[in-house]
Amino acid sequence: MSKPVVIVVMDGIGYNDTDNLNAVKHAYKPTLDALWSTCPHTRIKASGVAVGLPSDADMGNSEVGHNAIGCGQIYSQGAKLVNESIESGEIYQSKAWKDAVAYCKDHTLHFLGLLSDGNVHSNISHLIAMVKQAKAEGIHHVRVHILLDGRDTPETSALIYVDQLEDALKSLNDDTFDGKIASGGGRMVITMDRYEADWGMVEKGWQTHVCGEGRQFESAKEAIETYRNEGGFVDQYLPPFVIAENGQPVGTINDGDSVILFNFRGDRAIEISKAFDDPNFNAFVKTKNPKVYYCGMLQYDGDAKIPTNFLVEPPKIKDTLSQLLVENHVKSYAISETQKFGHVTYFWNGNRSEKFDENLEDWVEIPSDLVPFDQRPWMKSAEITDQLVEAIESGKYQFLRTNFPNGDMVGHTGDYEATIIGVESVDLCLKRIKDACDKAGAVLLITADHGNADEMAEKRKKDTDPIKPKTSHTLSLVPFIVYNGGNVELKDVEDGTFGLSNIAATIVDLLGIKPYDSWNETMIKH
């Protein structure tokens, strides 16, 4: 047998030569620095067309990144997939769109989602296109429930998107059509929880969007400006709000209405989809449970069929790394904490919730803490490492993978000092994993799925401009390092020649397994 292979995905730790509060550059990380200076290494693409997004101006994210690593190929993803469907008109020919329009013909069509052009969870252009189409097809009443971003966009950019949406609605409103913003709140406060870490967020969203319960304002702009003045809230943490006229909410969700969740990314769409779509839902008690037609932009979980109805068919990902390993009887191990557990399992396996083989695949989830990540930037790195080291030293596995979320989840808070601690926490863990690989004779691969911690401040036009925290991902290349690979050399290429989709072939090359013909090439020189 070949040496076992261990891969560590340092989430959000890009390698960026510039210094806009570069927490990766300034963190004390002796292990990572030593590996970079002494081992075969390169920097690879983790954004744009290299991960299936529309253009190289589009930031990568954890979902498409793990898809690319785990399937060895590039598929149209997220925004690109939806763009193609809207441009062709195929989305409006889908059964879900036709059923949603027919169901609410004499009632209200509701749109719910992240109001952003970040192209990670959603894009405001998709929403506006669908609202225009709804009017063209005879819908008279549209209500929009907006979740504010500030993670994949500048932290206080919400009013840009509110104004854009309000202008679009104003241009459409007439005697036959009435479109309004109905409710909203920050994405880290309501509705967009993931991996069932905090169902209370979803319940709060239900009360806000469906029931119209909460603090009332005359407009979304008034709500945002009031909360900022009162509490200094940035967009992602803005408290929920309800738009009202004469003391009555303008857009509660009622029997006979249709609801479209216009987010295309799955992880933060699944729980609210369950609340609307699961007849046996019991995660919280609904004080109001209207009979509606519900659909998502995509089917966010293909195995669990969540939601039942969806507008755009997801990419048909086949020939994944896990599938090939099972075919070759390789026993594998995957571990992360709750925040990224789905990334080393579901997304890694090509949007598949189930294992290919229960006997050959072991998955371990470490429950994440329910505290703001900047308050505990080490997160569960030590606990992940404890169990990963034990698995490496057990000798049971030929392939092991993990994700350390720190660089991404702490990076999204915009707290530079906390993010440095997060990066340093990962480095401490790398030392222990490296030592375990030495003991077990394993090859260690180190990479990242996208950048984030490498750029914690927005670029300033002038040196005298104030520093504004940057909470979004970056377009940076990410490291790829091979440790303990014997005589392994990487191909002589410039940084950025390869991308995340080249990792799968590199892994099986090290394991002595022939890759699928559909995969992108290995990075190892022969």
Where do the H-state alpha helices sit in 306-398?
321-327, 338-342, 381-394
Active-site annotation holds for 125: no
The whole-angstrom separation of Cα 423 and Cα 60 is 19
Distance CA 337, CA 405 (A): 8
- Cα–Cα distance measured from residue 315 to residue 73, given in angstroms and rounded to the nearest whole number: 12
Q: Collapsing DSSP states into helix, strand and coil, what is residue 152? A: coil
526's tokens: 């022969």
| Active-site entry in 47, 55, 62, 518 | 62
One-letter amino acid at 429 equals: C
From 446, 464, 453, select the one nearest 400 (Cα to Cα): 446
Alpha carbon distance 19, 15 (integer Å):
11
Tell me how many helices (H) and strands (E) the chain has: 16, 15
**Which residues in 282-311 are b (16+ Cβ under 10 Å) and which e?**
eeeeeeeeeebbbbbbbbbbbeeebbebbb
Element (H, E) at 444: strand 443-447
Assign 247 to helix, strand or coil: coil
CA distance 66 to 346: 9
Measured over the CA atoms of residue 491, residue 492, residue 495 and residue 496, the dihedral's sign is: negative
CA distance 296 to 300: 8
For residue 435 the two structure tokens come to 């030592």
Read off the tokens for 350.
């090509």
Is 165 strand, coil or helix?
helix
Annotated catalytic residues are 62
